[in-house]
Amino acid sequence: MGSGTSVPLDGRGAPGYLLRVSGEAIAFDLGPGTVHRWSAAGVSCLDVGEVYVTHLHPDHIADLVTFLFALRNPYFKRTKPLRIIGPVGLMDHYRGLMNQYGYWVEEEGYELSLTENRGMVAKRDGYTVTSRLVRHTSTSLGYRVETPDGRTFVYSGDTDTCEAIIELGRSAQVMVLECSVPDERRVEGHLTPALAGEIAAECGVEKLVLTHFYPLFEGIDIVERVRKSYGGEVILAEDLMRIEV
Per-residue model confidence as pLDDT tens digits over 25-58: 999 999 999 999 999 999 999 999 999 999 999 9
Residue 228 covered by a domain: yes
3-state secondary structure of 180: coil
Per-residue model confidence as pLDDT tens digits over 177-210: 999 999 999 999 999 999 999 999 999 999 999 9
CATH code (residue 50)? 3.60.15.10
Residue 2 covered by a domain: no
3-state secondary structure of 53: coil
Structural domain that includes position 123: 16-236
Tens place of pLDDT per residue across the chain (245 aa)? 999 999 988 899 999 999 999 999 999 999 999 999 999 999 999 999 999 999 999 999 999 999 999 999 988 889 999 999 999 999 999 999 999 999 999 999 999 999 999 999 999 999 999 999 999 999 999 999 999 999 999 999 999 999 999 999 999 999 999 999 999 999 999 999 999 999 999 999 999 999 999 999 888 999 999 999 999 999 999 999 999 98
Q: Are 238 and 3 in contact (CB under 8 A)?
A: yes
Residue 83 covered by a domain: yes
Residue 1 covered by a domain: no
Residue 3 covered by a domain: no
Residue 11 covered by a domain: no
Total tally of structural domains belonging to the chain: 1
Residue 4 covered by a domain: no
Calpha distance 182→37 (Å, rounded): 27
Q: Are 6 and 27 in contact (CB under 8 A)?
A: no
Cβ atoms within 10 Å, residue 218 = 6
Residue 122 covered by a domain: yes
Give the start-end residues of each E strand in 134-170: 141-146, 152-155
Could you tell me the pTM of the whole model?
Answer: 0.96
Closest Cα partner for 17 from 230, 226, 178?
178
